[in-house]
């Protein structure tokens, strides 16, 4: 059962208070940071950057933006904050909302005034944002203004047209407490989308059922007019693209030239040349006109394959290309929210698309995330004060797991759960990707935002997992937690420094840790993450290094090359990392004394890999026995019928068919697990009990 809005508000506010106390930051800064993570998760924008400016006498204000418009398809995302410093749920009136948006609109207009821009201090994030707006304005096709608030607005405002500026359309969108609560709890990390074809997009479209009435799911075929698809995407953008597919496209995809050329030069052949799109929905509404079934409304539409097709058609629409003769094939499956995590990844993986997605690399049910989750539920972190009370680091491989776990408990059980799993030790899969990627030398990717960084991380992990899954054992998990401790310590350290200007902590921290890691590696040494895990804190030497190196990194970021853009945008470039990597630094002797040799580290990893391999064998053997002989008999018959089993696989399946008279060895059980996975990929639907 999802928690109510009042309890959610109290928890959210408590998170903000805890973050501010731990990091020494303003409540509003933490509010912006945490809310920005939700916006990125919801697909509203790739990255949320802080750039605060307010002038009380003129009413001009801005709090942040959503990255470079040139990388967002020409869309400029601007943010303004309404933060209520109360644990009670407040009310945001329409009059207040309009006044707040006017302040943001004033900043946009002033940013285009060179004389006003030049009055700003060049080192401030506000100047960087104003300068970015001015430089990109000629190529900006749309402005989206976001108001984020922990008050509750009486009516939902999402994509409301708000006029134009120099011919560029402007829309308003409000993320209030009610909407945040629905996304974070009720929707389990998916923003509600209702596509009203009948009233908003020119009418319903013909629909052909592709299922029998006796089937336990619904599937349809449709042909969508290109202009309608473009307008739908124009309204909801990347929120239409299933999150993991979306980040895949962000990381590797570009507008397909073949699609673009067909749209511009041979639109009538688009249907013939293009594979179309594969979509899911939670529910649909239809009507029957003269025996023709029409699709009129779609609830929570998600495009799981065909993202490039959709984005390319949208670009053509923005470029005023005539789409009246363009039609797109759509396969639409109705998937209930309860089954979406299980079914949607399979649809995406198996669908034939121009940019095929390897679902195993990205979805929350990848074995890597499942294993990290298992470690987090089982392993207790050592008590830093020597007491008997130990805690866990709760790994969320899917948003909402922590809240779900608490909601099922009695008040007494919930109190015990909170003691064992303190909220500050909640870590998401995008968090882990950030903590690990900075140590692996990818601070530029970390600065590009949680989703793009996660896509980069997931691709590397997917490849490494295939080569050596045993390297991701308990030691890897504990090291990951140790890296999170270093990251959080660095955040607190930077915030406490007299030279810290505010707003750009994320960039300073990412490059500070990456620089330390790079220089330690060049010395053929390694940070002792095992000791950090045991202490649940960094040593004095590393703490001193963070203070010393963060100032040098900040100075280098500030002294960026001319015409490199704002500090936030410069930090997203590989050239920035190349520049910082060459920087001469001197690591404190106290920190050098804490390091271990690379050989010691390799020996520890080798031992950990051996332990994990043994654990894998035990787990596989347990699974094989619990699955039972009847299950393995079904697999054997299915595999023989399809003629895809080797002689060795057939023999080992034969042993499993004799459970409990015969028990497969650990090595044989590992083969059984591989066979099971292979047969599932070939279409076998049998599930172990």
Task: Please give the average per-residue pLDDT across 355-381, as a whole number.
Answer: 72
Q: What is the pLDDT of residues 119-174, one digit of tens each?
A: 998 888 899 999 999 999 999 989 999 999 999 987 777 767 888 999 899 999 99
Could you tell me which residues come within 8 angstroms of residue 378 by beta carbon, excluding any fewer than 6 positions away?
Answer: none
Q: What is the pLDDT of residue 600?
A: 67
- The pLDDT-based confidence of 555 (bands split at 50, 70, 90) is very high
Domain that holds residue 101: 5-186
Domain co-membership, 554 together with 661: no
Given a contact cutoff of 8 angstroms between Cβ atoms, the answer to whether 409 and 417 are in contact is yes
Close Cβ partners of 263 (under 8 Å, ≥ 6 residues apart): 226, 270, 312, 313, 316, 321, 323, 326
Please report which confidence band the pLDDT of residue 504 belongs to, taking 50, 70 and 90 as the band edges.
confident
- Res. 262: pLDDT tops 90: no
pLDDT of residue 344: 63
Highest mean pLDDT out of 83-87, 244-248, 398-402, 678-682: 83-87
Q: Per mean pLDDT, which range of 82-86, 465-469, 685-689 is the poorest?
A: 685-689
425-441: average pLDDT: 94
Asked whether residue 107 falls in the same domain as residue 211, the answer is no
> pLDDT per residue over 238-251, tens digit each?
778 754 444 444 43
The verdict on residue 94 lying in a domain is yes
| pLDDT attached to residue 109 | 96
Residues 564 and 630 in one domain: no
Q: Indicate if 677 and 562 belong to the same structural domain.
A: no
pLDDT band, very low/low/confident/very high, at 342 (cuts 50, 70, 90):
low
pLDDT at 362 over 60: no
Confidence band of 343 (pLDDT split at 50, 70, 90) = low
User: Quick one: pLDDT at residue 15?
Assistant: 84
How many CA atoms, within 13 angstroms, populate the side-chain half-sphere of residue 151?
17
β pairing state of 90-92 and 151-153: parallel
Comparing 73 with 380, the larger pLDDT belongs to 380
Compute CA 532 distance to the chain's CA centroid, rounded to the nearest angstrom: 27
Whether residue 686 is contained in a domain is answered as no
Check whether residue 234 and residue 303 sit in a common domain. yes
CA dihedral 262, 264, 266, 268 (to 10 degrees): 100
At 351, is the pLDDT very low, low, confident or very high (cuts 50, 70, 90)? low
Residue 274 lies in a domain: yes
Locate all alpha helices (DSSP H) within 89-171, ordered by sequence.
94-111, 114-117, 125-136
In three-state form (DSSP H/G/I as H, E/B as E, the rest C), the secondary structure along 251-317 is HHCCCCHHHHHHHHHCHHHHHHHCCCEEEEECEEEEEEECCEEEEEEEECCEEEECHHHHHHHHHHH
* Confidence band for 352, pLDDT divided at 50, 70 and 90: very low
Residue after which a domain boundary falls, among 122, 154, 186: 186
280 exposure class (CB count in 10 Å sphere: 0-12, 13-18, 19+): buried
Cα dihedral 312, 250, 303, 75 sign:
negative
User: 462 and 411 in one domain?
Assistant: yes
- Please tell me whether residues 291 and 416 are part of one structural domain: no
| Side-chain half-sphere exposure of 341, counting CA atoms within 13 A | 13
Same domain, 115 and 217: no
The answer to whether residue 85 is domain-embedded is yes
Per-residue confidence (pLDDT) for residue 249, from 0 to 100: 44
Burial of 381 (0-12, 13-18, 19+ CB in 10 A): middle
Residue 360 has pLDDT above 60, yes or no: no
| Least trusted range by pLDDT, from 32-36, 158-162, 165-169, 193-197 | 158-162
What would the mean pLDDT of 632-650 be, rounded to a whole number? 89
Q: Is residue 486 scored above 70 in pLDDT?
A: yes
Tally of structural domains, the chain: 4
What was the pLDDT predicted at 335?
Answer: 81
Look at residue 688 and tell me if it is in a domain. no
Residue-level pLDDT at 483 = 97
Q: Which of 5-14, 433-442, 660-669, 680-689 has the lowest mean pLDDT?
A: 680-689
468 lies in the same domain as 372: yes
pLDDT confidence bin for 298, thresholds 50/70/90: very high
Whether residue 485 is contained in a domain is answered as yes
CA–CA separation, 10 and 68 (whole Å): 34
Q: How confident is the model at residue 632 (pLDDT cuts 50, 70, 90)?
A: very high
Report if residue 687 sits inside a domain. no
Nearest one of 49, 55, 53, 78 to 162, comparing CA atoms = 78
Tell me the average pLDDT of the chain.
Answer: 85
Same domain, 354 and 448: no
- Please name the helix (run of DSSP H) or strand (run of DSSP E) that holds residue 504, with its range, or none: none
Q: Which of 186, 218, 244 is the last residue of a domain?
A: 186
Same domain flag for 102 and 209 = no
Highest average pLDDT, of 4-13, 385-394, 446-455, 577-586, comes from: 577-586
**pLDDT of amino acid 250:** 42
Q: Could you list the beta-strand ranges (E) of 27-83.
A: 49-55, 60-65, 75-82
| Model confidence pLDDT, tens digit, residues 131-141 | 999 999 999 98
Confidence of residue 350 (pLDDT cuts 50, 70, 90): low
pLDDT, residue 613, reads 60
In a domain, 599, yes or no: no
What pLDDT is recorded for position 338? Answer: 63
Q: Pick the last residue of a domain from 337, 361, 385.
A: 361
Give percent of the chain with pLDDT exceeding 70: 88
For residues 35-50, give the mean pLDDT. Answer: 86
Asked if 141 and 289 sit in the same domain, the reply is: no
Q: Report the pLDDT value the prediction gives residue 421, as an integer from 0 to 100.
A: 92
Query: Which tens digit of pLDDT belongs to each residue from 444-467?
Result: 999 998 888 988 898 888 889 888
């Amino acid at each position: 059962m999802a928690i109510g809005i009042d309890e959610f508000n109290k928890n959210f506010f408590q998170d903000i208070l805890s973050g501010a106390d731990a990091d020494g930051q303003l409540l509003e800064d933490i509010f912006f940071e945490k809310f920005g993570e939700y916006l990125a998760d919801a697909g509203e924008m790739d990255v949320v950057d802080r750039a605060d400016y307010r002038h009380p006498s003129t009413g001009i204000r801005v709090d942040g933006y959503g990255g470079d418009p040139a990388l967002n398809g020409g869309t400029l995302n601007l943010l303004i904050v309404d933060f209520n410093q109360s644990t009670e749920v407040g009310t945001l009136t329409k009059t207040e909302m309009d006044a707040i948006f006017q302040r943001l609109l004033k900043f946009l207009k002033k940013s285009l005034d060179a004389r006003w821009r030049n009055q700003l201090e060049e080192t401030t994030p506000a100047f960087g944002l104003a300068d970015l707006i001015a430089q990109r304005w000629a190529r900006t096709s749309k402005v989206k203004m976001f108001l984020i608030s922990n008050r509750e607005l009486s009516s939902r405002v999402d994509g409301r047209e708000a006029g134009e500026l120099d011919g560029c359309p402007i829309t308003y969108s409000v993320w209030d407490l009610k909407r945040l609560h629905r996304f974070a709890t009720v929707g389990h990390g998916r923003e509600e989308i209702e596509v009203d074809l009948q009233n908003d997009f020119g009418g319903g479209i013909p629909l052909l059922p592709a299922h029998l009435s006796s089937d336990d799911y619904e599937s349809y075929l449709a042909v969508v007019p290109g202009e309608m698809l473009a307008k739908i995407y124009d309204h909801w953008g990347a929120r239409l693209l299933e999150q993991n597919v979306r980040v895949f496209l962000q990381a590797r995809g570009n507008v397909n030239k073949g699609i673009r050329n067909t749209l511009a030069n041979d639109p009538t052949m688009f249907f013939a040349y293009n594979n179309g799109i594969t979509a899911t929905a939670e529910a649909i509404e239809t009507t029957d006109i003269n025996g023709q079934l029409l699709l009129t409304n779609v609830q929570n539409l998600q495009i799981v394959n065909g993202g490039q097709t959709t984005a390319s058609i949208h670009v053509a629409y923005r470029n005023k290309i005539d789409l009246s003769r363009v039609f797109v094939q759509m396969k639409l499956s109705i998937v209930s929210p309860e089954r979406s995590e299980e079914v949607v990844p399979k649809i995406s993986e198996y669908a034939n698309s121009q940019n095929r997605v390897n679902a195993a690399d990205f979805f929350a049910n990848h074995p890597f995330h499942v294993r990290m989750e298992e470690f987090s539920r089982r392993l207790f972190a050592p008590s830093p004060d020597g007491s008997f009370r130990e805690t866990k680091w709760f790994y969320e491989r899917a948003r909402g797991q922590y809240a779900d776990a608490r909601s099922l408990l009695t008040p007494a059980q919930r109190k015990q759960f909170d003691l064992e799993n303190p909220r500050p030790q909640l870590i998401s899969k995008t968090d882990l990707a950030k903590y690990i990627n900075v140590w692996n030398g990818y601070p530029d990717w970390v600065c590009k935002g949680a989703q793009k960084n996660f896509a980069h991380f997931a691709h590397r992990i997917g490849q490494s997992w295939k080569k050596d899954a045993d390297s991701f054992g308990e030691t890897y998990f504990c090291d990951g937690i140790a890296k999170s401790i270093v990251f959080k310590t660095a955040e607190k350290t930077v915030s406490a420094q007299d030279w810290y200007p505010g707003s750009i902590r994320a960039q300073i921290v990412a490059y500070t840790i990456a620089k330390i890691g790079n220089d330690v590696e060049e010395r053929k040494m390694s940070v002792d993450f095992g000791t950090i895990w045991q202490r649940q804190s960094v040593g004095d030497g590393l703490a001193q290094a963070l203070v010393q190196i963060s100032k040098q990194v900040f100075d280098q970021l500030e002294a960026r090359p001319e015409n490199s853009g704002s500090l936030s945008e410069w930090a997203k470039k590989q050239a920035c990392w190349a520049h910082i990597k060459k920087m001469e630094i001197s690591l404190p002797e106290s920190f050098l004394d804490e390091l271990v040799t690379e050989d010691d580290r390799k020996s520890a990893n080798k031992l950990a890999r051996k332990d994990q391999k043994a654990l894998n064998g035990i787990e596989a053997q347990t699974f094989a026995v619990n699955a039972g002989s009847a299950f393995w008999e079904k697999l054997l018959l299915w595999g023989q019928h399809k003629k895809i089993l080797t002689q060795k696989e057939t023999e080992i399946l034969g042993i499993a068919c004799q459970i409990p008279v015969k028990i497969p060895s650990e090595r044989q059980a590992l083969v059984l697990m591989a066979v099971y996975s292979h047969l599932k990929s070939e279409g076998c639907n049998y599930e172990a009990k």
